Amino acid sequence: MNTNKKVIINFLWRFAERSGAQLVTFVVSIILARLLEPDVYGTIALVTVFITILNVFVDCGMGNALIQKAEADDLDFSTVFYFNIAACSVLYLIMFAVSPLIAAFYEIPALTPVIRMLSLTIIISGLKNVQQAYVSRNMLFKKFFYATLAGTIGAAALGIIMAFMGFGIWALVAQQLFNTVMDTFVLWITVKWRPKRMFSTERLKELLGYGWKLLVSSLLDTIYNNIRQLIIGKLYTSEALAYFNRGKQFPNLIITNVNTSIDSVLLPAMAQEQDNVERVKSMTRRAIKTSTYIMAPLMMGLTGCAVPLVRFILTDKWLPCVPFMRIICVTCLFYPIHTANLNAIKALGRSDLFLSLEVAKKIVGTILLLSTMWFGVYAIACSLLAESVCAQIINAWPNKKLLGYGYVDQIKDIMPGILLAVFMGICVYPISFLQLPSAVILIIQVLAGAAIYLGGSRILRLEAFRYLWNTVSPWMSRLPGRE
């Protein structure tokens, strides 16, 4: 199987896995949003921030090190496995000890037992992260599909039952724990790799030399991406945090499905071609053009459909989240540039450069955040948009030298699709003012938006549209009933 076909097939499996997981999780979160008032949901959002930060430590950057290393063997994998178990155990003890301090800082005593229970996920996840690296390195993403499906569906059922029984935040805790346990269990059954009784300090030092930079980079990125929520929770109200967090949910649902799928498949594919710079450049360019072509209409369409969508799914009490949703949509529009550029840098083995970029972006972002945090929650959200523009330029800058593919060339490649998506969003927005049921308005907007974007792509002969059409049409012809 050639590389292009292998990448596409694995992307589809990864996309199916992410889509299924996010869809189920999204439905559960909607049920919780309907059962709980925004201020109560803000407390749940605050706990989720700490879960997200904890998950960064699970991998320690070693998973990416195993994927990137050209000749990783059982000694490498076993060494990382035992190291991660020890590291995750230490991290759990630390979180267990500091949870009362976190609860006191936010003046929410109930956070202490919640954080202690959820911290168990880092130990459980430490048992599976080498399996995840093995799956990614060998591009066996079908394994993720089955593991995630089992964990997510079971966790969803448990969370919904507990929510209706009045367990409140503990429904979310049980859901998260069950999901992690089941996901780990299924991966251990379906993935053949098992740790051997071997450990090498020299191999660990070698892998840490690459991985620790990615860990610090990921930690900086995760803390920075969630610091706004921590600040809003402290300076403003739980209700304001709930609206901000809910505004992020809809665009993040799309980002997680599309961008994370691309990210998961792109790094191992590029790593296999790391000695061929021209090939890495070609893959980077294709990823940016194609993923932006997919992402742009989804984000612009979501901005135009925001009001009827929130009314239909969440009810009118959540309408204050709409401005946040629109700001985040514009911010997420350019995520494919970040993903493709950073994966190219990682695939070429430049984790040192990757860390330098993260530090530079976080300095710029922190300045923007500190300049806006005192002017309200909307100002904090707008700082995300300004930070995204700066981050695009910073992420793309090294690849002008490494690949001969700089930021200006990247913008030229994606601008036709973005302009068409913006035009589509402008066209569907007025439909939201029709005096019709929200569900009917949404159907009209989706159909009109799809017709405008696909029709415009065909009329303008966009290259990304032709590429996707030529890729998908042979598969469509093989469907039952198509001769």
- For CA atoms 476, 479, 482, 483, the dihedral sign is positive
Q: Which residues contact 244 (CB under 8 A, 6 or more apart)?
A: 228, 229, 232, 321, 324, 377, 380, 381
Q: What pLDDT sits at residue 199?
A: 87
Of 403, 207, 426, the residue nearest 301 (C-alpha):
426
436 vs 442: CA distance, rounded Å:
10
How confident is the model at residue 431, as a pLDDT?
92
Output the six-digit token pair for 128: 């599976």
- Distance, in Å, from the CA atom of 300 to the CA atom of 462, rounded to the nearest integer, reads 18
Q: What is the CA radius of gyration of the chain?
A: 22
Q: How confident is the model over 20-60, as pLDDT tens digits? A: 666 766 776 777 666 656 666 666 677 777 777 777 776 65
The type of residue at 341 is N
Distance CA 430, CA 85 (A): 54
Enclosing H/E stretch for 365: helix 351-372
Which residue ranges of the chain lie beneath pLDDT 70? 1-22, 24-25, 28, 32-44, 58-61, 63-64, 68, 136, 138-148, 150, 211, 256-275, 351, 471-483
Q: Give the closest residue to 329 by CA, choosing from 291, 385, 379.
A: 385
Rounded Cα distance, 308 and 481, in Å: 37
List, for residues 431-473, the tens digit of each pLDDT value: 988 888 988 999 999 999 999 999 998 888 888 777 777 766 6
C-alpha span between 336 and 334 (Å, rounded): 6
pLDDT at residue 440, as a whole number: 93
pLDDT of residue 205: 84
**Residue pointed to by tokens 């459909």:** 305
Q: pLDDT value at position 452? A: 93
Pick from 304, 267, 121: nearest CA to 296: 304
Q: What is the DSSP letter of 266?
A: H
The confidence score (pLDDT) of residue 170 equals 83
Q: Which residue has the tokens 């430049």?
A: 350
* C-alpha–C-alpha distance, residues 317 and 400, integer Å: 47
Residues with Cβ within 8 Å of 480's Cβ and at least 6 positions away in sequence, in order, are none
Q: What is the pLDDT of residues 90-144, one digit of tens each?
A: 888 988 998 899 888 877 787 888 888 888 888 887 787 777 777 767 666 665 5
pLDDT at 325: 92
How many other C-beta atoms are found inside a 10 Å radius of the C-beta of residue 361? 23
